[in-house]
Amino acid sequence: MEFKLMMSSETASDSNLQDLTRELCRDLNDKTDVAAKIPKGTPKPGEKGDPITIGTILLSFLTGGAAVAMFDVLKAYIQRNKSLVFKIVGPHGEVVEVRGENLTKKQFEQIMPKDFLKQK
C-alpha cells in the first residue's frame, strides 16, 4: 500500500525544498521501516530528462511501528525549519496535514484517520 508525502514551505526555494526532500527520503529509508522513494514526474513536450515532483516522496510502511518512527523524523525536520508543512495522502485519498502547531504525538493521533496507517 503506497502513501504520498508532500513537503512544502513558504520560505524555501524550489531548489532548497528538493534538497530537503532528498535528505528526508534518505532519512526515512535509514531511520524507519518506511520504504521511501522520490517519484518521477511526467515530461512536458519538448523537455529533456526525467522531471521530478518537487517536495514529493512515495512511502510504503513495512511495519506497524513505521508511522511512529516517521512522525519522529518529521518532527526533527519541523524543529529545524518551522515553515515546513507535510501532507500525507493515503491510498484512498485520505489526507493528514502536519505542521508545527499540530505536531504533538497526541494531536498527530487525533488527526490521523483510524485506518490511515493500518497494514492490510
DSSP 40: B
DSSP H or E segment with residue 106 = helix 105-111
Query: Mind listing the pLDDT tens digit for each residue in 4-38?
Result: 999 999 898 989 999 999 999 999 999 999 999 99
| Strand 56-61 relative to strand 84-89, pairing | unpaired
DSSP 12-51: S-HHHHHHHHHHHHHHHHHHSSEEEEPPB-PPPTT--S--
Query: Mind listing the pLDDT tens digit for each residue in 53-102?
Result: 789 999 998 887 888 888 889 989 998 888 899 998 888 888 888 887 66
What are residue 110's phi and psi, to 5 degrees?
-70, -35
User: How far is residue 43's CA from residue 53's CA, in Å, rounded to a whole number?
Assistant: 11
